[in-house]
Amino acid sequence: EPEVTQTPSHQVTQMGQEVILHCVPISNHLYFYWYRQILGQKVEFLVSFYNNEISEKSEIFDDQFSVERPDGSNFTLKIRSTKLEDSAMYFCAGSSGTPSYNEQFFGPGTRLTVL
């Protein structure tokens, strides 16, 4: 069964450094998402991406964040200058159609630790 993959599984970085989190969605998916979960808290929406552009983003997704789907398979989340409060589990997800009518399939997550 096809699945969403994410790399790395764990990333440790120094405050102020740039990080790129990688996701390979399921091949026939058209809608892509990034969510994050700070330890002990609920999952929060960051951004949705469709047709090569951001369709919706949250207040969390400020100018320090960007997303890209450079080659039609990878879907990346970049944090330009990491802060301590960016430490969280980041989940990539995808769906084959509009989120109103389609399940989302999640990757295993990347745990980001900012020191």
Partner 1 sequence: KNEVEQSPQNLTAQEGEFITINCSYSVGISALHWLQQHPGGGIVSLFMLSSGKKKHGRLIATINIQEKHSSLHITASHPRDSAVYICAVTWGDKLIFGTGTRLQVFP
- C-alpha to C-alpha distance for 54 and 10, rounded to whole angstroms: 26
Interface positions, 63-102, toward partner 1 (CB under 8 A): 89, 91, 99-102
Q: Please, what is the minimum distance in Å from the beta carbon of residue 51 to partner 1?
A: 12
Q: Please, what is the minimum distance in Å from the beta carbon of residue 16 to partner 1?
A: 26
Q: What are the phi and psi torsion angles at 45 (to 5°)? A: -75, 140
Q: Please, what is the minimum distance in Å from the beta carbon of residue 13 to partner 1?
A: 19
Nearer to partner 1, 3 or 18 (CB): 3
- Is the CB of residue 33 less than 8 Å from the CB of residue 96? no
> Environment class of residue 62 by beta-carbon count within 10 Å: exposed (0-12), middle (13-18) or buried (19+)?
exposed
- Is the CB of residue 88 less than 8 Å from the CB of residue 38? yes
Per DSSP, what are the bridge partners of residue 22?
A: 7, 76
Q: Please, what is the minimum distance in Å from the beta carbon of residue 41 to partner 1?
A: 8
Window contacting partner 1 (CB under 8 A); options: 12-20, 48-56, 63-71, 79-87: 48-56
- Residues in contact with partner 1 by CB under 8 A are 31, 33, 35, 37, 41-45, 48, 50, 55-56, 58, 89, 91, 99-106, 108-109, 111
